[in-house]
A and B are shown apart, each in its own frame.
Chain A
Amino acid sequence: MAEPMVVVDDLHVVYRVYGSGADKGTAATALLRMVKRQRRPSIREVHAIRGMSFVAYKGDAVGVIGRNGSGKSTLLRAIAGLLPAEQGMVYTQGHAALLGVNAALLENLTGEKNVMLGCLAMGMSPQTVKERYQSIVDFSGVGDFINLAMKTYSTGMGSRLRFAIASAKSQDILLVDEALATGDAEFRIKSHRRIDELRAQAGTVFLVAHNLGEIEETCNKVIWLEKGRIVQAGENVPEIIDAYLAATGGEPRVRAPK
């Protein structure tokens, strides 16, 4: 029987956005506010996820699709435990690693140090890090840049190295938020292979991507979000993607006959 890795139980996530709208943000208004003992004004509540429940099992690669602002990244951050749930709960087996598009881990340090320290932080022994170091660097394909500070990397190179580091340990749950989008074609093939490996090692992968072809090739399940709710979800990946495309006014994907 399949073992659940992630259980999302009626999850609601609400952002509170400060300092938007009417507040002029001057020192005088801040002082007046404190004198009047008011809360910070113009707290806008943004209900980003409005009740969703699903289960992901060992070996699943779940694609998450939807328009901008439909709650894809929010969902991933909630699974990673980085956002408090307003209501409901996310249950996970082990910890989740979240890969986003932002550039570096320790941006002032060289790529080499990032590999070493990133692996140590995930709890690898120094011996293991030494053994795997070369394969991680090879996988990332950053070449000679490994000796330069990570802030000098291009977006693509940064995300390649980060993916290489985070996937070096067999993570229980790997959350990939558009982190592969900036990689080139060669890296995309490599990363698909790595995700397949992680799935084979009984990990669970969540993939957010606007490149639907990528989702279709990589994932065995897909969730379609709209305004913080699940519209459709299931294992019939091509059909859901087509339905999503139809809803957003796009052309159905052209697939090679099997």
Chain B
Amino acid sequence: MTNRGRLSGPGKLTKPGSLSGPGSLPGNGSAAGPGSAGATALAAEPAEVFLAGDAIPAGERLSDYAERHSLEPASARPPALKYLRMLWQRRQFITGFATASNVAMYSEARLGQLWQVLTPLLNAAVYFLIFGVLLHISRGVPDYITFLVTGIFVFNFTQRVCITSSVVMRDNLPLIRALPFPRGCLPLGYVVIELQQLLLSFCVLFVIILAYGEPFTWYWFLILPVLALQTLFNVGCAFILARWGSGFDDVSQLLPFVIRTWMYASGVIFSITTSLALVPSQSLYFHKHLAYLLQINPAAVYITLIRNSLLTSQRISMPGYHPFNALKCAMYGNPAKFHIPSDVFANKVIYYSSYCKPIVTQQALWGYAVGWAVVAAVVGFFFFWWAETRYGRG
């Protein structure tokens, strides 16, 4: 807030916070008594029209005059389709903004752009240390390291988009206030920033999984449509969080906790599909509906699809990969009952999860991947567009 007019007593307002209603004064321009200073209702004051000269015909209301000359309210929102076209027209700004911000982000660090690669690596190292080495949570998941790293990198994409876009409007307030442009460029720019980071992370990921002996297969190319869909989903998230975050700081305070919960619920560090849903000693085994819900949550969908594309062991241990076999499925779920030695389990029986009935099939996962992306993008766009004129206020 800049200038605050000094007031003896704040006037009672007839329509608090109202934005709409051009020419809402009934007696606009008609003669009324001079308002007493300050404390009266707003409507009492007849405003003299200054600087108009004789251009306005006598008796015409200002709102009609403005309309006749096709002026629009200063806080008017462009129609949705036009807004979409405006965003497309600014695509060079969006990518340029993303690239420049990406470079500037590490300009104060001595290692500079190296952090783009180091950050995901350190991330993976921490989780590997805690969950791979200390906690041995890897039970029931073949090739746990590659499983873990892939999950972290994919989830990190959505996580970073959500967190950064919740502050995007407030971080760029000077730009929003100075120049007229469709504000949707900013959350879109932040998605592009994270997409650029993701591409680097995936180069690191390829090196890691190749080093762990994962063969390159044609399945790898399936990550392209999955990442495209995930990006679309993230665009929706970015729009929604950008609008929420523009209003209150509470959103960005709360978000890290929500995201962490989401991460644990999406099977980043353990497998919902196999080690939770198929093992009788886990509570999720008896709550198939909950297992279903966890598996179709957008983060889990994209993570599972990427894992199944990149990692052979994940693909061939996915339930439903082989026709149902009750005995083999039971052996996977309860190896102790069948007296299976741990080395036999680790080398062979661990893949028997593929003989179980899938709770969500691979085809359904693809369906959900498309569905989540489209729903998030459409809802997010309209949600953000609806408040277009309110960004930059305060």
Interface positions of A (Cβ within 8 A of B): 1-7, 9-10, 12, 14-15, 17, 44-57, 62, 68-74, 77-93, 95-100, 102-109, 113, 116-118, 120-123, 125-126, 149, 162, 165-166, 221, 223, 227-228, 230, 233-234
Contacts and interface: CB of A to CB of B under 8 A. Distances in A.
- For the complex of A and B, the 6 pairs showing the least CB-CB separation, nearest first, are A95-B180, A120-B93, A91-B66, A45-B10, A233-B50, A91-B71
Q: Which of B5, B17, B76, B174 counts the most A-chain CB atoms under 10 A from its CB?
A: B5
Contacts of A80: 74, 177
Interface of B: 1-7, 10-11, 13-19, 21-25, 28, 38, 42-43, 45, 47-53, 55-56, 61-63, 65-67, 69-76, 86, 89-90, 92-93, 96-97, 100-101, 104-105, 107, 172, 174-175, 177-181, 185, 389-390, 392-393
10 contacts: A9-B28, A45-B13, A70-B3, A82-B393, A85-B19, A89-B22, A98-B178, A108-B105, A120-B90, A149-B107
A255 to B, nearest CB: 23
A223 B62 contact: no
B47 A53 contact: yes
Given A74-B2, A121-B90, 12 more contacts: A45-B10, A49-B5, A53-B49, A54-B50, A69-B6, A70-B5, A72-B3, A106-B175, A108-B107, A117-B93, A117-B100, A120-B93
Contacts of A233: 50-51
Contacts of B14: 87
A87 B25 contact: yes
Contacts of B393: 82-84
A123 B93 CA distance: 8
A88 B23 CA distance: 6
A118 B4 CA distance: 30
Contacts of B53: 2
B89 A62 contact: no
Contacts of A149: 104, 107
B75 A88 contact: no
A117 B185 CA distance: 11
A93 B104 contact: no
Contacts of A46: 4-5, 7, 10
Nearest to B28: A10
Contact of B5 (A9, A48, A53, A88): A48
Contacts of B93: 117, 120-121
Contacts of B22: 9, 89, 91
Nearest to B56: A55
Given A47-B11, A47-B38, A121-B185, A4 B73 contact: no
B174 A102 contact: yes
B51 A234 contact: yes
A200 B74 CA distance: 23
Contacts of B70: 93
Contact of B62 (A9, A47, A51): A9
B5 A71 contact: yes
Nearest to A78: B74
B17 A84 contact: yes
A86 B15 contact: yes
A97 B179 contact: yes
A121 B175 contact: yes
Contacts of A69: 3-6
B109 to A, nearest CB: 13
A116 B98 CA distance: 13
A220 to B, nearest CB: 10
A70 B179 CA distance: 25
B96 A9 contact: no
Contacts of A126: 92
A125 B90 CA distance: 9
Nearest to A107: B174
Contacts of B16: 86
Contacts of B42: 12, 50-51, 86-87
Contacts of B92: 120, 125-126
B51 A10 contact: no
A147 to B, nearest CB: 12
A4 B90 contact: no
Nearest to A121: B181
B1 to A, nearest CB: 6
Contacts of B181: 121-123
Given A69-B3, A83-B393, A93-B69, A105 B175 contact: yes
A113 B144 CA distance: 44
A86 B16 CA distance: 7
Given A2-B55, A51-B42, A86-B15, A106 B5 contact: no
Contacts of B390: 84
A35 to B, nearest CB: 17
B55 A55 contact: yes
A51 B48 CA distance: 9
A151 to B, nearest CB: 10
A92 B4 contact: no
Contacts of A73: 2-3
B75 A84 contact: yes
A91 B5 contact: no
